[in-house]
Structure 1
Amino acid sequence: MTQGQDSLFSADDPAARIAALRREIEHRSYQYYALDNPTISDGAFDSLMADLRALEAAHPELVTPDSPTQRVGGYVGEQFAPVVHEQRMYSLDNAMDLGELDAWMERVREACGGSLPPLCCELKIDGSSIALTYEDDLLARAATRGDGTTGEDVTVNMRTVRDVPLRLREEARAAIAPGVGGLELRGEVYMPKKSFELLNVAAVSDGRQPFANPRNAAAGSLRQKDARITQNRDLSTFMYAIADERALAVDGQWELLQWLREAGFHVNPDVRLCESAEEVRDFCRVAIERRDALPYEIDGVVVKVNAFSRQRALGFTSRAPRWAIAFKFPPEEKTTLLRDITVQVGRTGALTPVAELEPVVVAGSTVARATLHNLDEVHRKDVRVGDTVIVRKAGDVIPEVLGPVLSLRSPEARLWEMPSVCPSCGSPVVRDAGEVAFRCISIDCPAQALERLLHWASRGALDIDGMGEEIVSRLVESGRVSDVADYYSLSEEELASLDMGRVKADGEPVRLGHTVAKKLVAAIEASKGRPFARMLFGLGIRHVGKTTAEAIASALRTMDALAAAGEDELAAIDGVGPKIAHGLWLFMRTPDNLSVIERLRAAGVTMAEEDLGPGEAAPQVLAGLTFVLTGTLAASGMTRDEAASRLKAMGAKVSGSVSKKTSFVVAGEAAGSKYDKAVSLGVPVLDEAALLHLLETGEVPREV
Structure 2
Amino acid sequence: MLKLFEIVEDKSPKDRIDELRKDIERYNYYYYTKNESLVSDIEFDKLLKELEELEKKYPEYKIENSPTNYVGATSLKESKFKKVVHKKPMLSLNNSYNITDVIAFTERVEKNIDSVQNELEYVLELKLDGASISVTYENGELLRAVTRGDGVEGEDVTENILAIESIPNFLKEAVSLEVRGEIVLPLSRFKTLNEERLELGEEIFANPRNAASGTLRQIDSEIVKERGLDAYFYFIVDAEQYGFKTHKESLEYLEKIGLKTTGVADLITDMSIMEKRIAFWEAEKENLDYETDGLVIKLNDITLWEEVGYTTKSPRWAIAYKFPAKQVTTELLGITWQVGRTGKVTPVAELKEVELSGSKVKRASLHNMDEIIRKDIRVGDRVFIEKAAEIIPQVVSSVKEVRTGAEKEVVVPTNCPVCNSVLEKEDGLVDLKCVNPSCPAIIQGSIEYFVSRDAMNISGFGSKIVERMLQLHYIKDITDIFELHQHKDELMTLDKMGEKSVEKLLGSIEKSKSRPYSKTLYALGIPFVGKFLGDVLAKKSKSIDVLASMSKEELLEIDGVGEKVAESVYNYFRDEKSLEIIQKLKSFGVNFGKVAEDKKDEVKVEGKFTGKTFLFTGKLQKFKREEIKDLIESLGGTNLSSVSKKLDYLIVGEDAGSKLKKAEELGTVKILTEDEFLELTKE
TM-score (norm 1): 0.50
Q: Which amino acid aligns with 2:532?
A: T
Aligned position for 1:606: none
SS state of the match for residue 113, structure 1?
Answer: coil
Q: Which of residues 517, 524, 528 is equivalent to 2:509?
A: 524
Is 1:99 aligned with 2:103? Answer: yes
What is the Cα deviation at residue 456 of structure 1? 0.8
d(CA) in 1 for partners of 2:319 and 2:339?
A: 37
SS state of the match for residue 164, structure 1?
Answer: coil
d(CA) in 1 for partners of 2:531 and 2:513?
A: 26
1:527-579 Cα shifts (integer Å, max 9, x gaps): 56899xx999999xxxxx858xxxxxxxxxxxxxxxxxxxxxxxxxxxxxxxx
What is the Cα deviation at residue 458 of structure 1? 0.7
What is the Cα deviation at residue 646 of structure 1? 4.7
Aligned position for 1:161: 164
| Aligned length in residues | 483
SS state of the match for residue 525, structure 1?
Answer: helix
Aligned position for 2:382: 388
Q: Which of residues 439, 444, 449 is equivalent to 1:453?
A: 444
1:198-237 Cα shifts (integer Å, max 9, x gaps): 99xx9xxx9x9x9999767755654566656766776432
d(CA) in 1 for partners of 2:249 and 2:217?
A: 32
The 8 Å contact of residues 631 and 672 in structure 1, kept in 2 or not, is answered as no
Residue pairs, 1:634-673, within 5 angstroms: 638=538, 645-646=544-545, 648-653=547-552, 663-667=556-560
d(CA) in 1 for partners of 2:345 and 2:310?
A: 40
Q: Which amino acid aligns with 1:164?
A: I
1:234-266 Cα shifts (integer Å, max 9, x gaps): 643211233466899999655654564576544
d(CA) in 1 for partners of 2:338 and 2:537?
A: 33
What is the Cα deviation at residue 144 of structure 1? 3.6
Cα distance change on mapping 1:432 and 1:143 into 2, 3 Å: closer
Cα distance change on mapping 1:647 and 1:421 into 2, 3 Å: closer
d(CA) in 2 for partners of 1:268 and 1:357?
A: 39
SS state of the match for residue 127, structure 2?
Answer: strand
Aligned position for 1:113: 117
What is the Cα deviation at residue 417 of structure 1? 5.3
d(CA) in 2 for partners of 1:481 and 1:326?
A: 49
Cα distance change on mapping 1:167 and 1:422 into 2, 3 Å: same
Aligned position for 2:235: 241
The 8 Å contact of residues 345 and 352 in structure 1, kept in 2 or not, is answered as yes
What is the Cα deviation at residue 129 of structure 1? 3.2
Residue pairs, 1:253-332, within 5 angstroms: 253-254=247-248, 257=251, 260=254, 265-274=259-268, 276-288=270-282, 296-304=290-298, 310-312=301-303, 319=310, 324-329=317-322, 332=325
Q: Which of residues 369, 386, 405 is equivalent to 2:363?
A: 369
Aligned position for 1:139: 142
The 8 Å contact of residues 130 and 184 in structure 2, kept in 1 or not, is answered as yes
Aligned position for 2:127: 124
d(CA) in 1 for partners of 2:181 and 2:265?
A: 14
SS state of the match for residue 667, structure 1?
Answer: coil
Q: Which amino acid aligns with 1:237?
A: A
1:54-100 Cα shifts (integer Å, max 9, x gaps): xxxxxxxxxxxxxxxxxxxxxx9745264765x88676676671222
The 8 Å contact of residues 137 and 177 in structure 2, kept in 1 or not, is answered as yes
Cα distance change on mapping 1:317 and 1:90 into 2, 3 Å: farther
d(CA) in 1 for partners of 2:474 and 2:565?
A: 37
Cα distance change on mapping 1:114 and 1:342 into 2, 3 Å: closer
Cα distance change on mapping 1:231 and 1:384 into 2, 3 Å: farther
Cα distance change on mapping 1:258 and 1:458 into 2, 3 Å: same
d(CA) in 1 for partners of 2:498 and 2:223?
A: 19
Aligned position for 1:340: 333
1:257-286 Cα shifts (integer Å, max 9, x gaps): 456457654432544344644333322333
Is 1:357 aligned with 2:351? Answer: yes
Residue pairs, 1:620-639, within 5 angstroms: 632-633=532-533, 638=538
The 8 Å contact of residues 666 and 691 in structure 1, kept in 2 or not, is answered as no
1:325-353 Cα shifts (integer Å, max 9, x gaps): 22433774734213411435547999754
Cα distance change on mapping 1:280 and 1:437 into 2, 3 Å: closer
1:377-424 Cα shifts (integer Å, max 9, x gaps): 656643223322233556665543243121243455444558999999
d(CA) in 1 for partners of 2:116 and 2:422?
A: 60
Q: Which amino acid aligns with 1:328?
A: Y
Cα distance change on mapping 1:431 and 1:190 into 2, 3 Å: same
User: What is the aligned-residue identity percentage?
Assistant: 27
The 8 Å contact of residues 429 and 438 in structure 1, kept in 2 or not, is answered as no
SS state of the match for residue 119, structure 2?
Answer: coil
The 8 Å contact of residues 456 and 515 in structure 2, kept in 1 or not, is answered as no
Residue pairs, 1:168-567, within 5 angstroms: 168=171, 173=172, 176=173, 180-190=174-184, 222=216, 227=221, 235-243=229-237, 253-254=247-248, 257=251, 260=254, 265-274=259-268, 276-288=270-282, 296-304=290-298, 310-312=301-303, 319=310, 324-329=317-322, 332=325, 334-344=327-337, 346=339, 353-359=347-353, 367-372=361-366, 378=372, 381-392=375-386, 398-415=392-409, 452-459=443-450, 463-465=455-457, 471-473=462-464, 484=475, 488-489=484-485, 522-527=507-512, 546=526
Which runs of no fewer than 5 residues in structure 1 stay unpaired?
A: 1-75, 500-510, 540-544, 548-627, 656-661, 676-683
What is the Cα deviation at residue 356 of structure 1? 1.8
Aligned position for 2:665: none
SS state of the match for residue 281, structure 1?
Answer: helix
Aligned position for 2:9: none
What is the Cα deviation at residue 122 of structure 1? 0.6
SS state of the match for residue 262, structure 2?
Answer: coil
What is the Cα deviation at residue 473 of structure 1? 2.6
TM-score (norm 2): 0.51
What is the Cα deviation at residue 142 of structure 1? 1.7
1:425-459 Cα shifts (integer Å, max 9, x gaps): xxx96757999969999x9xxxx867643421314
Aligned position for 1:611: none
What is the Cα deviation at residue 632 of structure 1? 1.1
SS state of the match for residue 666, structure 1?
Answer: coil
What is the Cα deviation at residue 155 of structure 1? 0.8
Cα distance change on mapping 1:223 and 1:408 into 2, 3 Å: same
The 8 Å contact of residues 338 and 355 in structure 1, kept in 2 or not, is answered as no
The 8 Å contact of residues 113 and 307 in structure 2, kept in 1 or not, is answered as no
d(CA) in 2 for partners of 1:198 and 1:685?
A: 55
